[in-house]
């Protein structure tokens, strides 16, 4: 019999290191200072957003510039559930996922009629419509926004350190969860179809892959999870406004930067990209607008020299994968 | 019995008629060759059969079932498979994974061991030694073989080959022909569009010539090649004098 292997020695080592790393991250509230904890929570949020956007754009080719629609929607669902219904934030997070999935169905039906650049612009327009609509809702503070009621915040712990630890763990769960989900999905049968769609849509459908169905499913699932991430973002910020909630810069432009420099269409790319983004931000952000110019210049240099991103370059150069999703066959004879 | 039946197919792009009321029956087990000058509408004909393009008029029947309204992936699972004129490999996947896509999603009976089936196809098409190579780094001949391997992975009943011999050396062409003969012998009906006339004539049982989207000759290859109209299309009006 021919044998098929789906892991390498390197990937087994990477797996063990990942487990140790996740354990260390879970323990952060006990060993790290508050500022580190806060930074790592934000890291997890961007890791989740980047992994999800990569699944959407990198694999199904749906280059959305409007994922802030779902970040903002999630945030507003959290505030609505809290202010009007007094629900526990964790329940609100789940409801936000559900709400976004429901909203994503008609939105997908609309934007899927557009191709390529028109799709990108269409998704952005949808996000702007969301922003303008929420700015009209006076019950939620209209254009100036709303603060999360104190009793809701206290549901996550009376003491500040407890509360912040809980918010950190939820962020971690979403960050690791999004990554684990993408990895599991890509290793499954659907993953084979997604990887094929990434490389050629026309060839995939000619080989029996139901492209439209997979695109719809991915778009809706990514919307739901992005919305849940949006919840935790505004649970951290404690205040929401339409401009912050539906910010194309914060929730899409930086995310695209992360995925593009890290390596689009790979699992490792968004992880590497998020690490690079946070390193740059920590050391350069006090330069003000020059920092943004450096980010832009870096993105251009990488796109010109390594179009598949840093991880794309590494994996091709040395033919390695930390989280392999492919198949290697060894023939018997 | 006809496995494929095209009835009065018409496709226009604006004022340009690329397929003009074309009807065609392909018998089960046949190897039909299609010739025609550039722009004659040959690839469009494949697009109409595979479902990539929808006709403005006319119907497509496969095994007596009207499949005119069905999409590409549905027709693939029914047993229609094609190779592309310009190879479309999944460049960042290995050769084995490329073939596995068709074996997993393209077969009617997809439950049965896609990995084993993909391995068999690699053996048949001579790509075994390249199984774990990224498809993006293959040579032209290997890419053409991979096009055929992917199409075969779906267990087709009808295989559409679009200029699969173009750009190959004589030796490469002979080895590809041997593979095509093997596939045909195993019972697959083949329709083959080709500009490399001698390669096509060495295996085709029947020949059709199209020009401006119309069938201008159809039948025994020798008779078709000798017909005055085919000569005029290929060599100009002067050849008739």
Reported as a single tens digit per residue, the pLDDT across B41-62 is 899 999 999 999 999 999 999 9
Residues B114/B103, Cβ–Cβ less than 8 Å:
yes
Residue A305 in domain: no
Residue A280 in domain: no
Residue of A2, A192, A206 lying closest to B50 (CB–CB) = A206
Minimal C-alpha gap between A258 and chain B (Å) = 21
- Residue A163's domain comprises 9-247
Would the CB atoms of A331 and B71 count as touching at under 8 Å?
A: no
Q: Which two tokens stand for residue B168?
A: 């190959």
CA proximity to B180, closest of B209, B218, B148, B142: B148
Strand B214-219 to strand B57-62: parallel, antiparallel, or no bridges (unpaired)?
A: unpaired
Minimal C-alpha gap between A118 and chain B (Å) = 22
A289 close to B (CB below 8 A):
no
d(CA A162, CA A63): 39
Burial per residue of A242-255, b for 16 or more beta-carbon CB atoms within 10 angstroms, e otherwise: bebbbbbebbbebb
HSE of A76 in the Cβ direction (CA atoms, 13 Å)?
A: 28
d(CA A273, CA A260): 8
Q: Count CB neighbours of A121 within 10 A.
A: 14
Residue of A195, A207, A326 lying closest to B76 (CB–CB) = A207
Would the CB atoms of A195 and B50 count as touching at under 8 Å?
A: no
Architecture of the structural domain at B2-88+156-240: 3-Layer(aba) Sandwich (3.40)
* pLDDT recorded at residue B1: 78
Residue of B84, B97, B106 lying closest to A208 (CB–CB) = B106
* pLDDT recorded at residue B238: 57
Q: What is the ipTM of this complex?
A: 0.90
Please give the tally of structural domains in chain A: 1
**Tens digits of residue pLDDT in A134-150:** 999 998 888 888 999 88
Q: What is the mean pLDDT of chain A?
A: 94
In chain A, residues with a C-beta closer than 8 Å to the C-beta of B52 are 202, 206
Q: Look up residue A54 and give its DSSP letter.
A: I
Most A-contacting residue of B53, B88, B135 (CB-CB within 10 A), to test interface: B88
CA geometry: angle A13, A271, A224, nearest 5 deg: 120
**Tens digits of residue pLDDT in A198-243:** 999 999 999 999 999 999 999 999 999 999 999 999 999 999 999 9
* pLDDT recorded at residue A83: 87
Q: Is B70 exposed, middle or buried (0-12, 13-18, 19+ CB in 10 A)?
A: middle
Residue A54 has pLDDT above 80, yes or no: yes
In the beta sheet, which residues pair with residue B193? Answer: B34, B162
d(CA A141, CA A187): 44
d(CA A113, CA A212): 11
Would the CB atoms of B97 and A208 count as touching at under 8 Å?
A: no
Find the mean pLDDT for residues A280-286: 90
Find the mean pLDDT for residues A284-288: 88
In chain A, residues with a C-beta closer than 8 Å to the C-beta of B71 are 205
**Percent of chain A residues past pLDDT 90, beyond the cut:** 83
Residue A79 in domain: yes
* pLDDT recorded at residue A140: 86
Residue A295 in domain: no
Q: Which two tokens stand for residue A90?
A: 């964790």
Residues B150/B101, Cβ–Cβ less than 8 Å:
yes
Residue B108 has pLDDT above 60, yes or no: yes
Which residue of A lies nearest to B79 if distances are taken between CA atoms? A208
Residue A147 in domain: yes
Q: Count CB neighbours of A180 within 10 A.
A: 14
Confidence of residue A319 (pLDDT cuts 50, 70, 90): confident
Q: Look up residue A59 and give its DSSP letter.
A: I
Angle between helices B170-185 and B140-153 (to 10 degrees): 10
Residue A98 in domain: yes
């Amino acid at each position: 019999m021919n044998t098929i292997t789906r892991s390498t020695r390197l990937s087994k080592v990477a797996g063990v290191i990942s487990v140790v790393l996740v354990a260390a991250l879970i323990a952060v509230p006990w060993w790290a200072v508050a500022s580190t904890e806060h930074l790592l929570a934000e890291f997890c949020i961007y890791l989740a957003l980047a992994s999800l956007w990569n699944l959407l754009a990198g694999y199904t080719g749906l280059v959305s510039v409007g994922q802030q629609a779902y970040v903002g929607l999630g945030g507003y669902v959290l505030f609505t559930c809290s202010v009007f219904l007094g629900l526990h934030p964790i329940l609100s997070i789940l409801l936000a996922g559900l709400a976004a999935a429901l909203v994503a169905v008609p939105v997908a039906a609309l934007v899927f009629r557009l191709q390529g650049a028109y799709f990108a612009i269409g998704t952005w327009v949808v996000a702007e419509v969301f922003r303008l609509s929420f700015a009209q809702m006076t019950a939620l503070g209209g254009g100036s926004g709303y603060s999360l009621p104190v009793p809701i915040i206290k549901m996550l712990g009376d003491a500040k350190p407890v509360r912040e630890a809980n918010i950190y763990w939820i962020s971690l769960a979403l960050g690791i969860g999004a990554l684990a989900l993408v990895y599991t999905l890509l290793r499954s049968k659907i993953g084979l179809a997604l990887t094929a769609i990434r490389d050629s849509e026309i060839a995939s459908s000619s080989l029996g892959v139901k492209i439209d169905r997979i695109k719809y499913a991915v778009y809706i699932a990514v919307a739901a999870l992005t919305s849940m991430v949006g919840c935790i973002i505004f649970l951290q910020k404690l205040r929401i406004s339409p401009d912050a909630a539906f910010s194309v810069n914060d929730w899409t432009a930086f995310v695209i930067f992360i995925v593009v420099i890290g390596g689009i269409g790979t699992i490792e790319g968004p992880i590497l990209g998020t690490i690079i983004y946070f390193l740059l931000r920590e050391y350069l952000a006090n330069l003000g607008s020059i920092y943004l110019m450096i980010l832009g210049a870096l993105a251009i240099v990488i796109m010109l020299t390594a179009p598949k991103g840093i991880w794309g370059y590494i994996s091709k150069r040395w033919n390695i994968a930390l989280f392999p999703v492919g198949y290697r066959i060894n023939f018997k004879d | 019995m006809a496995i494929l039946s095209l009835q009065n197919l018409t496709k226009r792009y604006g004022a340009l008629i690329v397929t003009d009321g074309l009807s065609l029956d392909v018998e089960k087990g046949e190897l039909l060759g299609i010739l025609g000058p550039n722009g004659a509408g040959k690839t469009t004909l494949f697009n109409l059969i595979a479902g990539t393009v929808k006709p403005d008029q006319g119907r497509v029947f496969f095994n007596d079932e009207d499949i005119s309204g069905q999409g590409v992936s549905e027709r693939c699972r029914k047993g229609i498979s094609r190779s592309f004129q310009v190879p479309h490999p999944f460049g960042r996947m290995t050769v084995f994974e490329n073939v596995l896509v068709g074996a997993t999603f393209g077969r009617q009976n997809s439950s049965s061991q896609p990995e084993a089936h993909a391995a068999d196809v690699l053996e048949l098409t001579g790509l075994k030694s390249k199984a774990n190579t990224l498809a993006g780094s293959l040579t032209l001949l290997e890419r053409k073989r991979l096009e055929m391997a992917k199409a075969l992975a779906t267990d087709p009943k009808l295989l559409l080959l679009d200029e699969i011999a173009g750009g190959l050396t004589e030796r490469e062409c002979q080895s590809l022909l041997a593979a095509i003969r093997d596939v045909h012998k195993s019972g697959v009906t083949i329709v083959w569009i080709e500009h490399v006339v001698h390669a096509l004539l060495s295996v085709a049982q029947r020949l059709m010539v199209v020009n401006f989207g119309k069938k201008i000759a159809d039948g025994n290859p020798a008779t078709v090649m000798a017909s005055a109209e085919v000569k005029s299309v290929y060599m100009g009006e002067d050849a008739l004098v």
